Structure formats: structure tokens, C-alpha cells
Amino acid sequence: MQPDLIVVLPGGLATITEKHIQGPPDVVVEILSPSTAKRDRNLKRKRYEYFGVREYWLVDPSTRCFEILRLQGGQLMNQVSVISPDQCSTDLLPGLIIDLSWVFQ
């Protein structure tokens, strides 16, 4: 899998080495497009779930929607679903406020 963006937090399961990252990142972000949305929502979601990614963020420019799915009981469950121009946040990154009007500029 090649996500659009990953976040590796101190104390998480992933280790950054000189050549690659070992273990699951804490957050994976996918920017949806008509050609990738189905794959991102199904196949990639299941793989990220299986490997223990803590949060999976889906950014859909066509609908201006931002979704955060959080790993709960081994499954990535929808935690937040927000449409621009709103804002959202996550407990995983305290203090971070995601301003969707900025994201979808």
C-alpha cells in the first residue's frame, strides 16, 4: 500500500529506520478520487485495519468531506465525518484542529 500521507507518533507501533518504516503508522491519509475511492474505502481500509493503523483519514475533494475512522476492537470505525467549511479534531493528536475550508482550498 502506498498511502498519500502517513503520521508516525512517538510511542506508536512504527519505527522509522534509514530505509523505511517498520510497523503500522499511527495515521494514514488517503485523498479520494473517482478512480481510487472504491479501493481506498474497501481494500486499503481492510489492510490498514488488519495491520493496526490507529486512524484512517479519508479526504474526498468532490464532496468536500473529511472522515476519520478509528481502530476499535480491531475494526476501523467511523469516528468523525465532517463537510467543509467545518472543523474537526482527533484525540490522537491533541490540540490539532483541522480547518476544512483550508484543506479544500
| Summary mean pLDDT of the chain | 94
Predicted TM-score (pTM) of the model is: 0.93
The pLDDT tens digits of the residues spanning 62-75 come to 999 999 999 999 99
The pLDDT tens digits of the residues spanning 10-39 come to 999 999 999 999 999 999 999 999 999 999
Domains and CATH numbers, the chain: 5-103 (3.90.1570.10)
What band does 97 get if pLDDT is binned at 50, 70 and 90? very high
Q: Give φ, ψ of 28 to 5 degrees.
A: -120, 135
pLDDT of 11 reads: 92
